[in-house]
Chains A and B, each alone.
Chain A
Amino acid sequence: MHTLSFSLTLEGVVRIHDGVLCLAKFSEVVSLEARKDKLILTALNSSKSAYASFSLDKTVFFEKYNFNASQAKSQQSTEDTGARFTCQLYNKALLSVFKGRLGDVRDKDTAVERCECNIQDQPDKTECRLIVKMLCRHGVTKTYKLTYESVEVMHALFNKSAAKNTWTIGASTLRSFAEYFGTKTEQLDISSEGGRATFTSYTEKIMNGRDVLKQPLQTSITVDSLDFEDFKVEDQLHIGISVKDFKAIVTHAETLKASITALYSFPTRPMQLSYHEHGMQCEFTLMTIGDYRGNSVTPAPAAVRQGSAAPAERATSRQSTVQTAVQPKTTTMPPPSQSLSRSFTREPQSQRTQRPSPPPPKASLDPQSLFLPADEDDDRIWGERIYDNEQDTLGWDASANNDPILGGRRSDQESSSRLPPYPAWQEDPNSRIAPTQKIAEIRGLFGD
């Protein structure tokens, strides 16, 4: 009896390939997490500023899926529902196994018909192998035994309740925009003004003495918000992500012909891009950059960030527990006369330097801003799974299931200090679940 075994049709193989190809843009390793009802493939980039996850549904995505929880040793995560199997393997290995099989159908007689995978981790056999069997026509069988590393998997947390800005648009539309972005541009600034959204890809000029290391380049695409399926974004808000990540995401989303939904609060807080199609729930959590820290070229101290950021967030998260309920008041308004800074400058305690915010936000020049602040924020944004702590399971479930109640959890309270990893959970008055509650009961709430 294998810990995990599943089988895929050719279509599934191609989808896995597309997914793995997309994950390859983020990291050279893929983390795999098997649960009772789904298989999750994730990648976290080396600077931990971008996280991608594909959650494959047991019944929709797979032809057969069997996760034998009792076999899943390792994970201390106690009994039943919480049981999972996690491991990590090289993207390159997966990619070569699931490589473009679609072409096979057309040109080759030995096209893949079915794919069977299982995890071999019995102590009496060779351990730590992911066995992939491609069953092809005419009785050709291709078997791969890929070595994996049994590790704990990190998942990014995303606070949906705080993300009051959201838009949804067809991936193919977005993809067609991405084609105009210069190949050498690095940052993508997304802004909205007067009911129009602007996507600006840019590279800033970098000089070293008199040498120009990078030529500036900027491409802007402005879209009417009517082209979006849904558009609720605070006016004048600029938020920046990496062009490379953006391209990887829309390219993949296009293969699924999905509609991408973006969720974000404000710069330097994560942005989530997600879409769901064919039993594949795809979520990307990207760190954003922006100019709210003003012209300072050195990373602002954490205290400044918290002083300005947290109150704004708290205000919204108290208003509502459902992320989409917050209606940005400025979407339908004409552009405010010449309010040059973004709307959350209304926060009195803001310590930001006020400055105009043209795309691209120049203040983001600081390369450090791409990365997560290495201090307090780390623990709250990129929660590492600690398996003797049940709460992180919940943290993941919250985002995976889009549960509004859990979504109401606020991870941004400034009172939450860095340890333990999920202090926000414990201190969250909105939470209806005490931190010590058994996981089984929590599961019941979700009805799964």
Chain B
Amino acid sequence: MERSQKSHRSRQSGPSARKKSDTDKKKRDITEEKKQNPKAFAFNSTVKAKRLQSRASEKEQRRLHIPTVDRTTGEPAPYVILVHGPPQVGKSLLIKSLIKHYTKHNISEVKGPITIVSGKQRRLQFVECPNDINGMIDAAKFADLALLLIDGSYGFEMETFEFLNIMQVHGFPKVMGVLTHLDEFKDVKKLKKTKQRLKHRFWTEIYDGAKLFYLSGLIHGKYVKREIHNLARFISVMKFHPLSWRTSHPYVLVDRFEDVTPPDKIFTNKKCDRNVTVYGYLRGCNMKKGTKVHIAGVGDYNVAGLTGLADPCPLPSVAKKKGLRDKEKLFYAPMSGVGDLLYDKYAVYVNINDHLVQYSKVGDDDTSRKGTEKDVGVDLVKSLHNTKYTVDEKLNKSSINLFSQKSYNLKETTDSDDEDHVKPDNFIEPMEELDNVGSDDESDDSEESGSPKSKDNKRTRGENKVEEEREFHEGRIRRKAVFGSESGDQEASEEEEETENDNSNSESSSSDEEEEDEEEEEHDIEENLGNASKWKESLLERTKSRKTTNLMQLVDEKKKSSKGLGGDEVNGDGSSKFTNYASTKDWKEGEIIESIRDRFVTGDWSKAAQRAKAAETENENDDADVFGEFEDLETGEKHEGDKTGDSNKDIDSAVEERRLKKLALRAKFDAQFNGSESPDEDDDKNHKGKDKGQANEVSFIEKLKEEAELQRQRNIAELDDLDEITRLDIEGYRTGTYLRLEIHNVPYEMVEHFDPFHPILVGGIGLTEDNVGYMQTRFKRHRWHKKVLKNKDPIIVSIGWRRYQTLPVYAIEDVNGRHRMLKYTPEHMHCLAVFWGPLAPPNTGVVAVQNLSNNQSSFRITATAVVLEFNHAAKIVKKIKLVGEPCKIYKKTALIKKMFTSDLEVARFEGASIRTVSGIRGQVKKAGKIELGNKPKKKGGQPEEGIARCTFEDKILMSDIVFLRAWTQVDVPCFYNPLTTALQPRGETWRGVRTVGELRRNLNLPIPDNKDSHYKPIERPLKKFNPIVVPKSLQASLPFRSKPKLAKSKKDGRAVVPEPHERDVHKLVQHLQLIRHNKAKQQKLKKQEQKKKHDVQKAKEEVVTKKRQREERRDRYRTQDKLQKKMRRE
């Protein structure tokens, strides 16, 4: 029986229908939604449109960043997820929950960084931020993502804001807020409100739409699994942007710390300087040997030993599968003591928990209890299973390649015993002395030649330097050469190197006759390699590879040549000019000319092209020979059979080329994709429009991006060409390598007060950054800091990796470029701060704090700044007023005393302008001569020094005060005090230089009170001048006009008596005026009264009108409404 199936009825309403219609619209590219009032958004003002456009373009520009060349290669180091928050907010619990989520392990305590593998491509390192401000500052410098935990039930605390400010200064890493303690809200509405409030506050601090997570509460003492899962997902998709300081400086977040001082030294002196090793992933940029490092809270040190170790927490091997296997969910936390394996330079430590150790003892001793014994055994095996797996994993990792290679070797070459020179390519050779690369090559070479003697040599040479690790593998013992050298025997090995290289040296000593040299060498090699036929390579090519090392050696052997051949021999005068008169040929001859014809455009272009090509293929072949060992690994190509090799090589190169191109394309696409992905997603559409509008700018950025990408691909291609040792040599340890740094002579306190809860940051120092000098910074007091800052009051600054206390001098730049000292920082304004300290490059952020103690409630960030430049001299000036008084006055010249203390000083100020209080301007001329009034008070006494002869524009008085206004240099104190917080118990507050205020408070000193500085009401007694008396004789000679006259006063004392008629008239006039005034007054009063009345009347009427109008309106609206309702109903 067949029943027709009911046809599908799609939803006509509800969410699914809406969704469908939405997608449908999107497909048809209809985005216009029904708007409430489309007219309101219509185009109606060109000015506004222009303004909008310019704003949009400005926003667009702000979005753009100058692309930087990404120089990281290989696997990135684990990303540091820093969990920060005030105490008791649930930081450790969050880390524990996340680790449980990732690895299914419970950890009891979060001590130090914990590294885990979170995905196939990603590792994470969880760090808990210490609660003190020093720890926070350091943590902000290494965090890739900061999870800011906020107690939802309490609200934001100062720590969060302080940390945000610190991060903003030291490059802003990614930030995500996490609200905890939300289960303390019983009222849902209140909870919602609080969330909303906190979210918006968080947004104002970071940016609108910053992610804030909510952890609703605890279940069985853990966060809810689902929420942790979500959080983990957010972390896993997080993108990390390069921060400029970090990409230019290598740094290591220490996850393992060991004291390697010889025990007898400690025994004899407990407080001796220690040697320590620190371990951690290298981040930032590549680290070369000889880089100086700064250990935060300790100081600057030279790295005594730098070694790359095998990754303790490697990413899973690339295989096509989805997700991570449980076995690959590794984690590594040596400070917490949970990673069971520790890899040192030449040893592997397996940590076994105490209770397990005891079990095994029980098993060994109590043979009587058979049942239990067996159980214990099983337990043991099981417990060891985990750890063993990791070992296996390691071995597999390291030997898969080895094995495959070896099998090829076994099959295809009969050469069996050259394990020593086969280097696994994914293994970083634990080599201590890179200087010896040359010598190693040498020894390798000689080994290749198969002479047993050289092998012996190597063994004896490496007495204590080379250790062997024997592993039983594939049915035979494999020995891996592991270099365990201490830097102590570096000298010895160097000497050896010299003796070893003696031969080649004597050959190559005459560097100006290279040609002959090469030939000689060729012969030499031929002799040496007479029985090197095993390799079945043409001698020519052997020599080529040989020559490479020789050329490099020639450059390396510095001491030799400068002694033996005496650098002065050829170029004693250090001239760069090199004219090879010796080898000049007779260029008039036709043949010789023809020989270089192809180097000219008049020659054969195709031949030149061929020449270039030949060079390239030659190059390729060269590669194949020199680095054949590992090139072969990938292709599985034979050592013998040159031709097949070559053809393979060609194909290989083509393939390689294509691969590179693809990579570049892909990277470019990725970059574009990332670029168009704006932080606010809804903007996406607009951007496309803008892109067209601003094609120029965008294309410029695109060009830059492309260039950066091209450079990156070029770097990768060039570096991949090299073998591991050379690569290490020229580019240093790559980022992502697990490094072991040995540092000598650190204070014993560092070991004594080492606290795993405070992660150690080791940062590399750039070329000039260990010098000290004056730094000029653009400085602004933080708006939340309560007081203004006083000049030369100590502040603690954090610049680059360092933290130190210093005494800044504040200044401001005047319009004429003068830097004028300020006594206090200005309000709401930037100023300059100049201080002395280790230099940091311009554009580095600075954060300043004044108080380090934990138990203060106010905001601790004092100021933020940015370094403008550094200099060896600080030019800051302040005003100075020199005050003097005349001691002798001539016509317009006066001798001024008390202004200067010596004639020398006067000489310094010759020509300076001066002024009297009354405003007469003048100039300093010269030091006063003795005969000019500067007579010694008593005869025979010394003439007074420092009297200056000055001229004025007018004659001055003896009572005048003369002053000179000048600028004087302010010295910036040459003082800085590194914060050694790691050398004291972490709980203690570090104490440095105290401010003057603090000193006064602590020592109970009063504020010095200078009476002259008091403000008093100014009393100016009226100056009484004597009447001018003109001498009679002068009067007589004056013209009449200027003669003093007997002026008669206008008012003479006589009374005026009017006539009776006059009196009447005056009276009448007065009466009439009075009447008029009265009348006017009355009229005015009347008018006022009338106006009042009128106003009252008007107000009354208005009230009535308003009432009426309201009634009318109400009626109208009611009817309208009714009408509308009616219409709607219809």
Q: A and B from one assembly?
A: no
Binding site for B on A (CB under 8 A): none
